């Protein structure tokens, strides 16, 4: 049975507005922070004790590749600047934060991601896998959450609130960009711009559709031995309007995409902090 996403979608839209406009909402109680070190963006989310969005920032960055920090110094510097900017807006010092990892990465890489957040001046309170963070926002207790990031596709299978299985495979938005760059004989920077331009979706999506179909085949393989009645797709790489319909056709399971899929995981990290 598909979860009703009306309330989560409203929360996501509120958070998206705060990020877009650089605003700050009123809050109650202690603030919680989530730091999402993504392949294409670093996002910091701040929520209050009632898990309502208070503030947030998103900065383009390429410090992580396939769940591995490849530019530690720049990562720490970027998160430090975002922390300082949010503290100035909020008028408080942010001392603690949670972060997240793609499922299935080795322990050394987990420690490196946590070290980035600590290096920026936070005490790390929790490290959660990305799809489980997304489930926290969506209020999902059963089903499969698929986090399609820049470098990887991560899957978490939940039943009655428990995570039964997690997996991760290196196919994501970066692969879409590379396919576009090759097809149009453009630089990866130009191809990335094309991919993110909503006005060009009608010409871009047919080219990257095979990548989406491969993502769906990855998910189908990992959920084959589990009873899954709904799939929830999140992450920046699933923003195409036809994305969920391709998944549903290829896998044969009802697939849902929440509002603002790019911001689901970072908000979930903060809620889980």
Residue 129 sits in the same domain as residue 11: yes
169 vs 146: CA distance, rounded Å: 11
Q: Which domain holds residue 213?
A: 139-259
The pTM score is: 0.88
Q: Which residue matches tokens 């990031």?
A: 149
Is residue 1 a part of any domain in this protein?
A: no
Residue 266 and residue 201 share a domain = no
- Whether the CB-CB separation of 137 and 8 falls below 8 Å is answered with yes
Q: What pLDDT tens digit does each residue of the chain (273 aa) get?
A: 567 789 999 999 999 999 999 999 999 899 999 999 887 789 999 999 999 999 999 998 887 776 677 788 888 999 999 999 999 999 999 999 999 887 766 666 788 889 999 999 999 999 998 888 888 899 888 999 998 888 888 898 988 888 888 888 888 888 999 999 999 999 999 999 999 899 999 999 999 999 999 999 999 999 999 999 999 999 888 999 999 999 999 999 999 999 999 999 999 999 998
Helices (H), 22-169: 72-90, 107-119, 130-138
Do 77 and 156 share a domain, yes or no? no
Domain at 218, CATH number? 3.30.420.40
The token pair at 153 is 């596709």
Q: Give which of 70, 65, 132 is closest to 99, Cα–Cα.
A: 132
Rounded distance between C-alpha atoms, residue 102 and residue 151, angstroms? 10
Number of folded domains that form the chain: 2
């Amino acid at each position: 049975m598909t979860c009703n996403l009306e309330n989560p979608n409203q929360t996501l839209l509120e958070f998206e507005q705060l990020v877009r406009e650089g605003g700050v909402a009123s809050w109650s109680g202690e603030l919680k922070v989530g730091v999402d070190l993504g392949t294409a963006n670093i996002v910091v989310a701040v929520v209050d004790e009632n898990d309502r969005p208070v503030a947030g920032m998103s900065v383009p960055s390429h410090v992580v590749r396939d769940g591995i920090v490849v530019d530690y110094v720049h990562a720490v510097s970027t998160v430090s600047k975002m922390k300082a900017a949010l503290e100035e807006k909020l008028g408080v010092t942010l001392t603690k934060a949670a972060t997240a990892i793609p499922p299935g990465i080795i322990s050394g890489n987990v420690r490196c991601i946590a070290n980035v957040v600590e290096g920026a001046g936070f005490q790390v309170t929790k490290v959660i896998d990305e799809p489980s963070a997304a489930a926290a926002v969506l209020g999902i207790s059963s089903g499969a959450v698929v986090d399609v990031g820049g470098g990887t596709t991560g899957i978490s299978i939940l039943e009655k609130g428990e995570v039964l299985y997690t997996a991760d495979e290196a196919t994501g938005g970066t692969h879409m960009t590379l396919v576009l760059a090759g097809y149009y004989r453009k630089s990866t920077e130009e191809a990335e711009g094309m991919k993110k331009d909503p006005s060009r979706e009608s010409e871009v999506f047919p080219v990257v559709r095979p990548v989406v179909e491969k993502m769906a085949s990855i998910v189908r393989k990992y959920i084959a031995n589990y009873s899954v009645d709904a799939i929830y797709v999140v992450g920046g790489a699933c923003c195409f309007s036809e994305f969920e319909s391709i998944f549903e056709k290829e896998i044969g399971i009802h697939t849902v995409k929440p509002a603002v899929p790019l911001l689901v995981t970072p908000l979930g990290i903060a809620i889980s902090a």
